[in-house]
Chains A and B, each alone.
Chain A
Amino acid sequence: MGYFDRVWRTHGMGILKREFAAVVSRDRARAARQLNGEDATFPVLFILMPELDRFGFYKELSPRNISALRITTKKTTGDEKLERYLRYLEETETEQSQRDTLRWIIETGIDWDGPSAGRDEYDTVIDYAVALLVGDHGDNSQLAKIAELIFRRNRSGLFIHDLVWGFFRSVDADALSVVAKYIVSTNRDDVELACQMLGLDVPETMEAQEKTFTRYTDYLSENKSYLYLTGEGFQASSAPRHLTHDPEAKYLRREISPRDRAPLAPLSEIELKALTRFREAKDDVRELLIRHSGKVKTRGDDAWHNWINSDIARQVLAAQEDEGENI
């Protein structure tokens, strides 16, 4: 833990600001070393923003801190002049360095809830950093921590929607697994939110919670390759299905891109033909074909290719016979 972090955690924000001012007055280089250190945290930088301005302490900052400060300024004071100046100072910023900065903000800043006066501003910065890291940089390394924050804020009745939106921009089945763990929480608020985020009915008892959890994790492992982002969120619906599976992909056992729902590899003529017939079939027949497709796949690729290459009527017949045998 860095020097200023120790001061903050031990003595609070007021003393931290005074100590920073004292160190800057005595030795600016030392203040810069402490603030730019690997072990420094984002909350300290956030708390010291007014002092940095007061002492004109910008040129001494590391590229990471300058970048973090610019992101923060954009979402807090909105001071365009300062933002332009910081952008000028960070002209060497690369995509990788911005990503590292965002990770640093989240890794070191997500466990703090912000100052009592100004919590909203702090939350706004964290939400923005999440949306940038997950949505724009496609970095899903912090999903578990982000989920923790979503549920923590929800327990306090705080605003979570931008954070939930940023979280699901990960378009990753792991995001669903992370949320699913909260179905078996002992806290009712957690259970209700987890179910809302996953589009599930809220179970009433712990036994029902466990059943829901098992069913959902089974669903995820069965459909992981066929999930895609729907774009739904709390802005659109009370029970948004952020990600759901594509039945056509599941029928063809073809992995799709979760972002745009397109197959990862082009479909063959035979698959395209099968798909056309599949689309014309009634709902219950489609369900039957999807179930059977999965079963045949477990019998090996040859068996599955033989089945999918057959006429749709034969596919249905085979599926019905198979289900009949099992009844």
Chain B
Amino acid sequence: MITINGQSANLDALLRGTNSAGVETETLSRLSRSFTQYDYDSMEELRFELVLRREIVAAANALLRGGLQFETFRNSYCNPAYWSRTQDGGFVVNRNARASDAIADMFKNGRAYGTECATAMQIVYYGALLKVLGRDAFDREFAGAYLMNWHRIERALRETGLMRPTSDPLPGDRRYFMNPDVNTETPEWQGENVIDMGDGSYYGHGIGRRRDADIIADLNKNRRLGSHTSAYLMPSAGRPNFKRLAQLAN
């Protein structure tokens, strides 16, 4: 159920105000069907979330097309024209580079970068925010952006690192497939970070855009020898703090 400024919102009216089919419509439908109450201070705030979710899904598709490579943190690499690799395998924007250019380069020039799935999720979120906020606001907020996994994360994206139980997975959510009995030889297969694409598929870095059963099958191939404990999709999601991010857009 959706409320705007304390008033229950009508789905049909909201759908009429939505330009595109796909992600925005799907998000609205899921929010309105939910037993959970989703409160928005204004129509603009709701619109911002819908647009950002749409751009997150678009950014995941763009990153997939851009050719970003999979590599473990120990062997990660980046384009030195925009980024410096840190000792823990993360990337930090060069002092003389604009954060917006550095993020855009990851989408255009993906083969110059190799990293793990958690970093790819952050790149997706940054890519979407760049599209929604525009270059100037993005550079103001994310100058010196640092990319690694959920251990070290920019304040503005902090909530994407925190998995909360949810019964309403939404397009653009970060989800996690857990592989509890992973083979010691392949710790990178301990799980897979993915973006919920809203149509029953998930984007995961290194595995592409796939259905849940396919991702689970891939993870299961990397279990301990003889293990019968299957990988599974966790019933939780990491979500950006849309309310706070909406303020950046103003």
How far apart are the CA atoms of A234 and B163 in the complex, in Å? 11
B182 CB, min distance to chain A CBs, angstroms? 9
Given A131-B187, A235-B193, A159:B150 Cβ within 8 A: no
> What residues of chain A lie closer than 8 Å to B88, measured between beta carbons?
157-160
> What residues of chain A lie closer than 8 Å to B116, measured between beta carbons?
235
Beta-carbon nearest neighbor of A260 in chain B: B229
**Which of B87, B151, B162 counts the most chain A CB atoms within 10 A?**
B151
A273 CB, min distance to chain B CBs, angstroms? 27
Given A234-B151, A236-B163, A157:B190 Cβ within 8 A: no
> What residues of chain A lie closer than 8 Å to B149, measured between beta carbons?
161, 234-235
How far apart are the CA atoms of A279 and B108 in the complex, in Å? 51
> What residues of chain A lie closer than 8 Å to B10, measured between beta carbons?
none
B63 CB, min distance to chain A CBs, angstroms? 18
8 Å CB interface, A219-261 against B: 229, 231-239, 260
Given A120-B74, A136-B184, A162-B187, A235:B150 Cβ within 8 A: yes
A2 contacts B by Cβ under 8 Å: no
Given A233-B190, A235-B149, A235-B150, A132:B118 Cβ within 8 A: no
Beta-carbon nearest neighbor of B160 in chain A: A238
8 Å CB interface, B35-57 against A: none
> What residues of chain A lie closer than 8 Å to B89, measured between beta carbons?
159
Q: Which of B73, B178, B180 contacts A161 (CB 8 A)?
A: B73
A196 contacts B by Cβ under 8 Å: yes
B111-129 CB mask vs A (1 if < 8 Å, else 0) is: 0000011100000000000
For chain A, the count of residues having a C-beta within 8 Å of the partner chain is: 30
Q: Which of A124, A158, A260 contacts B87 (CB 8 A)?
A: A158
> What residues of chain B lie closer than 8 Å to A236, measured between beta carbons?
150, 163, 176, 178, 191, 193, 234
* A159 and B74 form a contact (CB under 8 A): yes
How far apart are the CA atoms of A160 and B184 in the complex, in Å? 16
A55 CB, min distance to chain B CBs, angstroms? 30
8 Å CB interface, B46-104 against A: 73-74, 86-89
* B74 and A237 form a contact (CB under 8 A): no
Q: Which of B73, B161, B180, B187 contacts A237 (CB 8 A)?
A: B161
A10 contacts B by Cβ under 8 Å: no
> What residues of chain B lie closer than 8 Å to A135, measured between beta carbons?
184
A156 contacts B by Cβ under 8 Å: yes
Beta-carbon nearest neighbor of A240 in chain B: B150
A116-151 CB mask vs B (1 if < 8 Å, else 0) is: 000010011000100110011000000000000000
B30 contacts A by Cβ under 8 Å: no
* A235 and B87 form a contact (CB under 8 A): no
* B191 and A238 form a contact (CB under 8 A): no
Given A157-B88, A159-B87, A159-B89, A237:B184 Cβ within 8 A: no
B41 CB, min distance to chain A CBs, angstroms? 26
* A237 and B87 form a contact (CB under 8 A): no
> What residues of chain A lie closer than 8 Å to B238, measured between beta carbons?
237
A231 CB, min distance to chain B CBs, angstroms? 4
Beta-carbon nearest neighbor of A233 in chain B: B190
Beta-carbon nearest neighbor of A160 in chain B: B88
A46 contacts B by Cβ under 8 Å: no
How far apart are the CA atoms of A161 and B149 in the complex, in Å? 9
**Which of A161, A233, A239 counts the most chain B CB atoms within 10 A?**
A161
How far apart are the CA atoms of A91 and B130 in the complex, in Å? 57
Q: Which of A157, A238, A260 contacts B150 (CB 8 A)?
A: A238
Q: Which of B162, B229, B234 contacts A239 (CB 8 A)?
A: B162
* A157 and B178 form a contact (CB under 8 A): no
A246 CB, min distance to chain B CBs, angstroms? 15
A165 contacts B by Cβ under 8 Å: yes
* A231 and B180 form a contact (CB under 8 A): yes
Beta-carbon nearest neighbor of A130 in chain B: B184
Given A124-B74, A132-B184, A196-B151, A237:B162 Cβ within 8 A: yes
How far apart are the CA atoms of A288 and B199 in the complex, in Å? 42
B9 contacts A by Cβ under 8 Å: no
* B87 and A156 form a contact (CB under 8 A): yes
B131 contacts A by Cβ under 8 Å: no
* B86 and A234 form a contact (CB under 8 A): no
Beta-carbon nearest neighbor of B161 in chain A: A238
Beta-carbon nearest neighbor of B163 in chain A: A237
B137 contacts A by Cβ under 8 Å: no
B153 contacts A by Cβ under 8 Å: yes
How far apart are the CA atoms of A236 and B231 in the complex, in Å? 14
* A235 and B191 form a contact (CB under 8 A): yes
* B190 and A234 form a contact (CB under 8 A): no
> What residues of chain B lie closer than 8 Å to A124, measured between beta carbons?
74
Supply 18 further A-B pairs (C-beta < 8 A) apart from A135-B184, A156-B87.
A131-B187, A132-B184, A136-B184, A158-B87, A160-B151, A161-B73, A162-B74, A234-B118, A234-B151, A235-B118, A235-B149, A236-B178, A236-B234, A237-B150, A237-B162, A237-B163, A238-B158, A239-B161
> B-contacting residues of A (Cβ < 8 Å)?
120, 123-124, 128, 131-132, 135-136, 156-162, 165-166, 169, 196, 229, 231-239, 260
Task: Please provide the 4 A-B residue pairs with the shortest distance between their CB atoms, ordered closest to farther.
Answer: A238-B161, A238-B150, A234-B151, A231-B180
Can you identify 11 A-B contacts, CB atoms within 8 angstroms?
A131-B184, A159-B89, A166-B187, A235-B116, A235-B117, A235-B190, A235-B193, A236-B176, A236-B178, A238-B158, A239-B162
